[in-house]
Amino acid sequence: MLEIKNLCVSYGSVRALDEVNLRMAAGGLLHGIIGPNGAGKSTLMDAITGCARPTRGTVRMNGVDLTRRPVAWRRRHGMSRSFQRTSIFPGLTVREQLELVASQLGERDLRGIVLALDLGAVYERQADSIAYGDQRRVDIALALIGHPQLILLDEPAAGLSTAETVSLFDHLSTLTAQRGVSAIVVEHDVDAVFRFCAQITALDLGRVLVTGTPAEVRADARVIAAYLGSAA
């Protein structure tokens, strides 16, 4: 479904992404991206979603070359991302925000998203007044609206406790499986990534060290040296 070939992004003399290759099948899988700070994880998400301009390489979805397509075009063609920004329009309730985006993108099962993400209790509250953990789930709800085929989440659990992180990934894996939407998730909590992601890519210095199952990645000598260290 997604095919990334030889993707490069440079910021001045910094090669933030260096010949990245990645393939991902359709069908509700979670694909985790791990790596130390500065590895290029956010740049990869930006380049896939059109927020960063590659100097070389291609991003294809279902065979269609998206590399030069604008963000909004990708959103309408099945690729969405979270922005870690719960309040699109200040003063709106969670319901008003979600309904607004749902009407724009022709979502017919907003109720299903709201129930699956346990947002019922905060539905009528002003979006910027709810607890941080609830805001993170609203972010995911916004990304899921409009039946995307692929969602990209950059550290959706940032700032959450370990228990909240597990709960968020639990919700995410249930929802993606139910709706058949695949997700690429950058996450610092490697325990959560190893537990919930079917495939994992480890990045370091803008390069892919390895892509594989949790067991393959955990056992990879380069990943242990660059990132996991004795924690593995």
Instruction: Tell me which residues touch ligand ADP (CB under 6 A).
Output: 11, 14, 16, 35, 37-43
Kind plus residue range of the DSSP H or E element containing 166: helix 162-179
**Residue 35 interface partner, choices Mg ion, ligand ADP, none, CB cut-off 5-8 Å depending on type:** ligand ADP
**Residue 39 interface partner, choices Mg ion, ligand ADP, none, CB cut-off 5-8 Å depending on type:** ligand ADP
Task: Work out how close the CB of 154 gets to ligand ADP at its nearest, in angstroms, rounded to a whole number.
Answer: 7
> Rounded to an integer, what distance in angstroms lies between the CA atom of residue 79 and that of residue 56?
21
Residue numbers of the site for Mg ion (CB under 5 A)?
41-42
DSSP annotation of 194: H
Edge to edge, what strands does the sheet with 30-34 contain? Answer: 79-81, 150-154, 182-186, 30-34, 199-204, 207-212
Give 44 or 130: the residue with its C-beta nearer to Mg ion. 44
**Residue 40 interface partner, choices ligand ADP, Mg ion, none, CB cut-off 5-8 Å depending on type:** ligand ADP
Give 41 or 75: the residue with its C-beta nearer to ligand ADP. 41
> Rounded to an integer, what distance in angstroms lies between the CA atom of residue 48 and that of residue 67?
8
Give 179 or 207: the residue with its C-beta nearer to ligand ADP. 207
Task: Work out how close the CB of 35 gets to Mg ion at its nearest, in angstroms, rounded to a whole number.
Answer: 9
Nearest to 20, CA basis, from 151, 202, 225, 187: 202
